[in-house]
A and B are shown apart, each in its own frame.
Chain A
Amino acid sequence: MANFNIDSKKKRTFDAIVIGSGISGGWAAKELSEKGLKTLVLERGKEVNHGDYPTTMMQPWEFEHLGQITKEMKDANPIATKCYAFGEDSSHFFVKDAEHPYIQEKPFDWIRGYQTGGKSLLWARGTQRWSKYDFEGPARDGFDVHWPIGYDDIAPWYSHVEIFAGISGNKDGLESLPDGEFLKPHEQTCVEKHFTDQMRKHYNGARPVIIGRCAHLTDPQPIHYQQGRAKCQQRNLCQRGCPYGGYFSSNASTLPWAKMTGNMSMRNNSVVHSIIYDEKKQKAVGVKVIDAISKQEIEYFARIIFVNGSTVNTNIILLNSKSSRFPNGLGNDNGLMGKYIHFHNFETGISGEYEGFLDKKTDGIRPNGSYIPRFRNVKKQETDFLRGYASGFSASRMEITNGEGWGEELKNNLFEKKYGNWRVGSHFMGETIPKISNYVKLDETLKDQWGVPQVRIHVEMDDNDAKMVKDFKEQLTEMYTLAGFTNIKTRSRNSWNPGLDIHEMGGVIMGKDPKTSQLNEWNQLHHCKNVFVTDGACMTSNSTQNPSLTYMALTARAANHAVDEFRKGNL
């Protein structure tokens, strides 16, 4: 642009640009700036510094509607309010439906958090490693695209991010769910231990039940204190933002760390319109930003660009980065960018009761639950569906509120101390098969308020998903029955749509072959090597683990490779 003088351009030039400050962007910012690269982080949402959590210290009785969402809010946000974490205490961290419209070719609940830290403020904090079986799955089962890396490539990077983020867990020695660098684990409840023991007995160790691995500082180490974080106080109010930094978020951890290096700059309200490709240099040279508030356009320049906008937005940015070399979007020579969108299926669950341990209860609060790693088709194909599912498992005991009677009788009943049976429950987290028919693409005419094309989303469940749900219901019913649970009920969440898992992945996937994938084994675009994609968009398949830990490890790995290549002058 002619009106910018050289000084201005210099001020807008960095070694690296990171698009997005969420769970993966925060890691890119930390690694790049720690290694000495001048790094600009662009965040499309508002500024939320660590501690800017307006509801975090509020007591339950201080909420006008005791946590309930107003009708006005519900009517205006039929999608966002479906999210389990959306409440009177957290609604300010969610994108409202009207703020960023999209087109649902098939129902898709797109849950978004536009602010510093993105959805890392809101995540469920489950952090399990993938095993070699997960990375090898697509090749074994004949998926269209296979992973270009295996467990051994990522294992040291899992360790790297676990140590810094702080992951609590137990060393369970499972092949299907490798151990990590764990802080002290949370405790299982009596009935969870009972279930673990019963399953070990009935299935000879083939169906382990473990305490969940999660990003909470149960036992903070010097590296965590250096970040300004403290021990998790076990409030389980994480969706409000944590004043102690007790759980991992970009806000509490990677971003302040990056800032301390003196090499990181952050710009909020920066909607990335597209990446600028230089036809002569044959590489990306910067990004075009629309200021979210003033709507003004401004360009920033760098030799390395990390795209961490969250899966769908990363797809939008790349598809919208058109040039004569890349008329269909940056790096999109094979026309497959935006396709192979996949997710985790959460549409079923199971609950029950246990009439034992009636003289016992729990005490305190645990921001975690137990976990049943995938036991189906782990080492070989066993069922009439491909892949498998992981499940949560939790057993707790609540005091019963006796609301019988009227007047003084009712009042006395409310002051009664009485416990019900233990209640048990599991949620389902099914692997889905990445398919060319599940895609996002840009609408040809409709644009959002920043002039970026609106996205059309077309993601459907299939027969494999239905068979897997049926198997979950049968298998978990059997397991609950063997453990002596009663009143067992499976449920289907008819209002559940893909997207509500908030584990949407793919579209810009990793693979060996540029004919079928967009990214190489270092998360570089095959055809534009100084652009890296390390958020959910890069995922070749989804397996059954909560994905954030893998995004973090892939990001740290790719960022360190980027720095090496940068120093060698290859980027």
Chain B
Amino acid sequence: MERRNVIKSLGIGLLGLGTLPSWANNWNSDSFENLTFANSEVFIKIVDCLIPETNTPGAKSIGAHLYIEKVIKDCYSEEIQNEVKQTLEILNKEAVAKHQKSFEKLDNLQAVDILKNSTSNKKTVEFLKNLTIRSYTSSEYYLTNHKNYQMAPAYFHGCVEI
């Protein structure tokens, strides 16, 4: 698998900041060899139902689904990748059994309900949830609007009132 050049994404990042992380603007699943893992639609539904769009951006618009797909492919073992695949299949089966449609076509409440009560590996569902949270809480939207994130604060106070 090709490891993308971080320098490239630096350039993109400085030019224009959309809601998506800069690397995702220039990325699609096709750029991977051995594409055995095309589950983008299911991932979109998972992140969207976990952290939905409301009057603030949700996990889908910050690109959490792209991150999840990428990080699982690049950073985790085949064993974990297989567990994820099996879990996605089970989620889909349960969606069809209960609602007669595939998982990605469910509305968010239905999808959350399946995730919460799935007979699939709870550890894997928790893993996907944690990745979604990680992506969301590392996003530009969350860090700059909620965390008052500053890359270069140029100060440190060791003891201030909350």
A57 touches B3 (CB 8 A): no
Interface residue total, chain A, C-beta cutoff 8 A: 53
B156 touches A365 (CB 8 A): yes
* B22: chain A residues within 8 A (beta carbon): 61-62
Any chain A CB within 8 A of the CB of B51?
Answer: yes
B23 touches A414 (CB 8 A): no
**Of the residues B7, B10, B52, B156, contact of A408 by C-beta under 8 Å:** B52
Interchain nearest-CB distance for B68 vs A (Å):
11
Any chain A CB within 8 A of the CB of B96?
Answer: no
Chain A contacts with B in 42-81, Cβ cutoff 8 A: 54-55, 57-66, 68-73
* A407: chain B residues within 8 A (beta carbon): 49-52, 108-109, 112
A70 touches B52 (CB 8 A): no
Give 1 or 0 for each of A169-203: 1 = CB within 8 Å of chain B CB.
Answer: 00000000000000000111110110000000000
Any chain B CB within 8 A of the CB of A415?
Answer: yes
Find the B residue at minimum CB distance from A411.
B51
B54 touches A411 (CB 8 A): yes
Chain B contacts with A in 56-88, Cβ cutoff 8 A: 56, 58, 67, 70-71, 74-77
By size class, the interface of chain B is 35 or more
* B157: chain A residues within 8 A (beta carbon): 187, 362-364
Give Cα A41 to B92, complex, Å.
63
Any chain B CB within 8 A of the CB of A473?
Answer: no
Q: Chain A interface secondary structure, helix, strand, loop or mixed?
A: loop
* B143: chain A residues within 8 A (beta carbon): 59-61
B162 touches A360 (CB 8 A): yes
Interchain nearest-CB distance for B19 vs A (Å):
10
* B140: chain A residues within 8 A (beta carbon): 59, 61
* B108: chain A residues within 8 A (beta carbon): 407
B54 touches A408 (CB 8 A): yes
Any chain B CB within 8 A of the CB of A366?
Answer: yes
Any chain B CB within 8 A of the CB of A88?
Answer: yes
Pick from B58, B147, B159 the residue with the most CB of A within 10 Å: B159
Any chain B CB within 8 A of the CB of A420?
Answer: no
* A234: chain B residues within 8 A (beta carbon): 152-156
B156 touches A66 (CB 8 A): no
Give Cα A186 to B153, complex, Å.
14
Any chain A CB within 8 A of the CB of B128?
Answer: no
B52 touches A411 (CB 8 A): yes
Chain A contacts with B in 419-477, Cβ cutoff 8 A: 419
Any chain A CB within 8 A of the CB of B161?
Answer: yes
* A366: chain B residues within 8 A (beta carbon): 156, 158
Give Cα A190 to B158, complex, Å.
6
A68 touches B52 (CB 8 A): no
A364 touches B6 (CB 8 A): no
Interchain nearest-CB distance for B147 vs A (Å):
8
Q: Which of B36-44, B98-106, B130-138 contacts A (4 or more CB under 8 A)?
A: B130-138
Shortest 3 CB-CB contacts between residues of A and residues of B: A190-B159, A233-B152, A364-B156
Point out residues on B near A: beta carbons under 8 Å. 1, 3-4, 6-7, 9-10, 13-14, 21-23, 27, 49-52, 54, 56, 58, 67, 70-71, 74-77, 108-109, 112, 115-116, 129-130, 133-140, 142-143, 146-147, 149, 151-162
Q: A189-B159, A363-B157, A403-B130 are in contact. List 7 more A-B contacts (CB 8 A).
A: A61-B138, A62-B22, A65-B70, A234-B153, A362-B156, A362-B158, A366-B156
Point out residues on A near B: beta carbons under 8 Å. 54-55, 57-66, 68-73, 88-89, 186-190, 192-193, 231-235, 237, 357, 359-366, 399, 401, 403, 406-408, 410-411, 414-415, 419
